[in-house]
Amino acid sequence: MPKRQRHQQLSRLIEENPFITDRELTRQLKVSIQTIRLDRLELGIPELRERLKLMAERSYDSVRSLPLHEVIGDIVDLQLDKSGISMFEIRGEHIFSRTGIARGHHVFAQANSLAVAVINDEIALTASADIRFVRQVKLGEKCIAKAYVRSAGRSKAKVEVFTYVGEEMVFQGHFIIYRSAGEHGIEEVDERADRD
């Protein structure tokens, strides 16, 4: 494949999926990892970690429901009461030593903390969760969790979370999140109405 065409494909692949790793790019473009790195340098495209930092700086609301350090994984995008994305890399401390497979509670914790973080409230707690592990996650894999608020009432919200490794779904959860906005949210709206 000519270099110019490869550069176009590389740019398109990263634009479509900013979470794509250099290894995944080597498989799709059928070139060495050194070639991918050189192409990225020539095109001025930063490595995955830098791309994620840039995305995080660019656009996301501040987490209100819990301290940022209590969110499992790195929040990449957050639109309160709408959606959120986080990334969590499986490291040695997250796996069973004999098998190299991630302990399920880490994958669940990423999804659960994102479901809580996406709620626009001072207090948000998980009331229930209906979860399904689709496949095992292994050492070194990057879990991308995507949360969607499907409905948000005054006292509870329904949040769906899907976790992917690459293009493959590895976890799915339906969460009911209790929120404290009930009384405070109504009072704030009434106060604003009085001022207008």
Note down pLDDT in tens along the chain; length 196 residues: 888 999 999 999 988 888 788 888 999 999 999 999 999 998 888 888 787 777 665 556 778 888 878 889 988 888 999 999 999 999 999 999 999 999 999 999 999 999 999 999 999 999 999 999 999 999 999 999 999 999 988 899 999 999 999 889 999 999 999 998 654 443 333 333 344 3
In contact, 76 and 86? CB cutoff 8 Å: yes
What confidence score (pLDDT) does residue 119 get? Answer: 94
Residue 155 CA to residue 187 CA, distance in Å, equals 14
What confidence score (pLDDT) does residue 67 get? Answer: 81
May I ask the CATH architecture of the domain 3-54?
Orthogonal Bundle (1.10)
CB atoms within 10 A of CB 86: 26
What confidence score (pLDDT) does residue 76 get? Answer: 85
What confidence score (pLDDT) does residue 56 get? Answer: 61
Strand order in the sheet with 124-133: 74-79, 83-89, 142-152, 156-165, 168-179, 124-133
22, exposed or middle or buried, with CB in 10 Å at 0-12, 13-18, 19+? Answer: middle
What confidence score (pLDDT) does residue 188 get? Answer: 38
Of 67, 134, 147, the residue nearest 102 (C-alpha)? 134
Report DSSP state, residue 44. Answer: T
What confidence score (pLDDT) does residue 30 get? Answer: 92
Gyration radius of the chain over CA positions: 20
In contact, 135 and 168? CB cutoff 8 Å: yes
What confidence score (pLDDT) does residue 153 get? Answer: 85
* Cα→Cα distances 77→56, 70, 82, 127, Å: 6, 16, 11, 24
In contact, 174 and 130? CB cutoff 8 Å: yes
CATH fold of the domain at 60-183: Thiol Ester Dehydrase; Chain A (3.10.129)
In contact, 112 and 128? CB cutoff 8 Å: no
Domain limits of the chain? Answer: 3-54, 60-183
Kindly report the pTM of this predicted structure.
0.69
What confidence score (pLDDT) does residue 181 get? Answer: 67
Residue 102 CA to residue 93 CA, distance in Å, equals 9
Contacts of 16 (CB under 8 A, 6+ apart): none
